[in-house]
Amino acid sequence: MPEAVEAVIDYALNTLELTDLWCAYYEGNVKSQRVQEKCGFRYHHTAYDVPVPLMHDVRTHHVNLYVG
C-alpha cells in the first residue's frame, strides 16, 4: 500500500502541481495511520462526530497533511 500512496503523491505533486495533500483515517484504523505516516503525512487535527452516511454511522477521524 505505501507504494500506491507514494505514486499518488508523486502524481499530485509533479503532474497536477499541487503543493499540499490532505489525508484522513478513522479512529482505530491503525494500518491506514501507519501507511500515511510512512509516506510522510503528518498529523494536523482530529474531527469528532463526523457523519458517515453510507455506513449509517458517526465516527472520529484524524486528518493528516503532506507538504510537498
Q: What is the pLDDT of residue 24?
A: 97
Domain extent, residue 32, equals: 2-67
d(CA 11, CA 51): 30
| Per-residue pLDDT in tens (0 to 9) along the chain, 68 residues | 999 999 999 999 999 999 999 999 999 999 999 999 999 999 999 999 999 999 999 999 999 999 98
d(CA 23, CA 55): 19
Q: What is the pLDDT of residue 28?
A: 96
Domain at 12, CATH number: 3.40.630.30
Cell numbers standing for residue 24: 484522513
Q: What is the pLDDT of residue 68?
A: 86
Q: What's the structural domain count of the chain?
A: 1
d(CA 57, CA 19): 32
pTM: 0.87
Cell numbers standing for residue 64: 493528516
